[in-house]
A and B are shown apart, each in its own frame.
Chain A
């Protein structure tokens, strides 16, 4: 079945550092890919998405590119802030048939 793998962390960075959170997926077809963020004590917020190969999703300085050849959707940000501290979930949805979350990556940004 479909699955999503991501580095579980925790990831600890200093403010203004470069962020990469790796995400790879397994799917039988051509899924849509998502990054969700969950701040402490809150629900999940959609951060960005990509629906086909080579699409780049971007939002709030975060970016991720849908790489079909490597089945990856890595999340990047050039300069993190303390306010980016949260848990980040990679997820896929295939053909309206399922919605699969990765295990989540906890990010802590220190001032």
Chain B
């Protein structure tokens, strides 16, 4: 299995809602990442988990809360988002620690109303 899966594919939420994005990989990778991608821009790194520990937080607002329950799963909990948070949220994983060749999931298209 050489795939990173993400659910849901699309999500529409209001500014007072709480929702979660989910990511899963079964490649034995020990680093997992959340990226935010706005239209016509490259992905921006949000969080890195290496060996299930949060190793880098790129000063992301606290309304985004990551969780890594085990080495195969990664969640992103969303609360009190703003319309400008609407974007494609991408999950990725890599072998042999952080920042090596990354494998990306298809993304969750998030719209905040």
A contacts, CB < 8 Å to B: 32, 34, 36, 42-46, 49, 89, 93, 96-99, 101-104, 106
Contacts and interface: CB of A to CB of B under 8 A. Distances in A.
Nearest to A94: B99
Interface of B: 4, 6, 40-43, 45, 90, 92, 97-107
B102 A43 contact: no
* Secondary structure type dominating chain B contacts: loop
Given A44-B90, A104-B40, A99 B105 contact: no
A53 B100 CA distance: 17
A97 B56 CA distance: 11
Given A43-B106, A43-B107, A96 B43 contact: no
A44 B43 contact: yes
Contacts of B4: 43
